[in-house]
Amino acid sequence: MSVIFAVVAGAVLGLVVPEFAMQLEPLGKAFVSLIKMMIAPIIFCTIVIGVGSIAKAATVGKIGGLALLYFITMSTFALAIGLVVGNLIHPGAGLDMSASSYEGAAASGEAKGTTDFLLSIIPLTFFSAFTGDSVLQVLFIALLTGFALQGLGDRGAPILSAVKNLQTLVFRILGMILWIAPVGAFGAIAAVVGRTGASAIWSLGILMIAFYITCFLFIIGVLGTLLYAVTRLNIFKLLKYLAREYLLIVGTSSSESALPRLISKMEHVGVSKPVVGITVPTGYSFNLDGTAIYLTMASLFIATGMGQPMTISEQIGLLLFMMIASKGAAGVTGAGIATLAGGLQAYRPDLVDGVGVIVGIDRFMSEGRALTNFTGNAVATLLIGTWTHEIDRDRARNVLDGKIPFDESTMTGDGHDGMSTETAAVGTDGLTDAAVAETARREAIVAERV
């Protein structure tokens, strides 16, 4: 709420006293500098944990492997949609953010051949990657570390645990930095509006509206079509079934708050416990469709607003980076902004200071991200259940038609095991021991959160 107030106040100040408002730009720059300070440790921790999580999820057999393949495909598709829409509407046009320049832009902007570029990814020493300006070097070290931990097996578990503890500390520091987000947003918005005028507010509004329209079309057009093609279930009935969860998400701006309820409702709708126990929690880390759309559209907005649009090759590189960097830090406050800053730092460091303006309107788009992420995970659970024959389709249709209401008092699936007739006949022999163990672990986590 304080960020929203700061944005409004900054916009008003920029319109009323533009000369004074432009002098407040250092507030936004200082905030962005603090964010940039945290990029290297955040990227390292999230990539190492993300690679380890992928390896662990892949061990739960057919369910986990199929879910991961689907998550990666849909996240990449969502990132691409964000790029397409961004290139069509050119968000940020009319803004004047050019004064927010990165000190190292001149050096980083020098042309490099393919060989020089590839060689520059390799740091001088293991630790020098964390003190330099190249995020790609940090990404390189993180990937090496993640794959090395996979090779160590159980011996690498203590090290991975230490990285997770380090990530907790890093994001705690980031949380402290985000306490002053209203100040940074106030200075950044005031300076941009003071320099550009009312057209700045118009450009910010276009980005937000375009983002919400893109998320809506993605849910209805992409997820809805896929859901009907595979399961013959109606996306609008599913949205109505999850209405209470949507209200909870809007109130908290986080899909994490609805995780326990989504698990219960997916079991109630007819999906088996093993599928729900593996797909839903894993999807919360790897199936972030709304966040993917936001990252690419926000990047194009900043590039256009600073008068330095990205080339197609830079956009493709950014897409690949976001695909990797967005894993492992889901549900953590500030992870989206940190990932956005990290992506820009890697491919266009001269655009990083534009993040200060995005922080100002990030709160307005957080609900859209959370709702899209949540819907994507609900649809994914139904799809995975269908592909693995672990769903009772007749029950699913009856539940979505309102014939079998969800018990809000107990949040249970009415004793239903969620298996289709075919699966019930063979029991759970088709599931690996790892899958059963993983399901038990997921349910324990959910119980603790509740």
Percent of the chain with pLDDT over 70: 76
Confidence of residue 103 (pLDDT cuts 50, 70, 90): very low
- Residue with structure tokens 């992420």? 373
What pLDDT, on the 0 to 100 scale, is given for residue 218?
94
Decide if 347 contacts 321 (C-beta within 8 A): yes
What pLDDT, on the 0 to 100 scale, is given for residue 396?
94
User: Where is pLDDT greater, at 222 or 442?
Assistant: 222
Mean confidence (pLDDT) of the chain = 76
DSSP 311: P
Decide if 185 contacts 28 (C-beta within 8 A): yes
Half-sphere exposure of 295 (CA within 13 A, CB side): 34
CATH of the domain at 400: 1.10.3860
What pLDDT, on the 0 to 100 scale, is given for residue 222?
93
The domain in which residue 159 lies consists of: 32-177+203-449
Domain count, the chain: 1
- Residue 419 confidence (pLDDT) above 90: no
- Residue 110 confidence (pLDDT) above 80: no
Does 303 reside within a domain? Answer: yes
Measure the CA–CA gap between 258 and 438, rounded to whole angstroms. Answer: 20
Q: What does the pLDDT average to over 110-118? A: 56
Does 62 reside within a domain? Answer: yes
- Residue 20 confidence (pLDDT) above 80: yes
Does 11 reside within a domain? Answer: no
Does 18 reside within a domain? Answer: no
- Residue 101 confidence (pLDDT) above 50: no
Q: What does the pLDDT average to over 293-314? A: 82
What pLDDT, on the 0 to 100 scale, is given for residue 430?
38
Distances (CA, A) of 119 to 128, 134, 199, 316, 387: 15, 12, 43, 20, 43
For 74, left (φ over 0), alpha (ψ -120 to 50), or beta? alpha
Confidence of residue 367 (pLDDT cuts 50, 70, 90): confident
Distances (CA, A) of 354 to 33, 103, 193: 11, 13, 13
What pLDDT, on the 0 to 100 scale, is given for residue 284?
79
Confidence of residue 79 (pLDDT cuts 50, 70, 90): confident
Measure the CA–CA gap between 374 and 337, rounded to whole angstroms. Answer: 19
* 344 CB-near residues (< 8 Å, 6+ apart): 299, 302, 318, 351, 352, 354, 355
User: Where is pLDDT greater, at 397 or 201?
Assistant: 397
**Nearest alpha carbon to residue 50 among 167, 222, 177:** 167
Measure the CA–CA gap between 29 and 262, rounded to whole angstroms. Answer: 40
Confidence of residue 39 (pLDDT cuts 50, 70, 90): confident
Confidence of residue 56 (pLDDT cuts 50, 70, 90): low
Measure the CA–CA gap between 279 and 297, rounded to whole angstroms. Answer: 27
- Residue with structure tokens 């809000």? 408
User: Where is pLDDT greater, at 194 or 394?
Assistant: 394
What pLDDT, on the 0 to 100 scale, is given for residue 443?
46
Burial (0-12, 13-18, 19+ Cβ within 10 Å), 181: buried
Query: What angle (nearest 5°) sits at the alpha carbon of residue 355, between those of residues 5 and 215?
Result: 80
- Residue with structure tokens 């194009």? 300
- Residue 60 confidence (pLDDT) above 60: no
Does 24 reside within a domain? Answer: no
Measure the CA–CA gap between 363 and 296, rounded to whole angstroms. Answer: 17
Q: What does the pLDDT average to over 394-414? A: 80
- Residue with structure tokens 């999807």? 283
Does 385 reside within a domain? Answer: yes
User: Where is pLDDT greater, at 84 or 200?
Assistant: 84
User: Where is pLDDT greater, at 380 or 77?
Assistant: 380
The three-state secondary structure class of 391 is strand
pTM of the prediction? Answer: 0.69
Does 22 reside within a domain? Answer: no
User: Where is pLDDT greater, at 4 or 326?
Assistant: 4
Does 14 reside within a domain? Answer: no
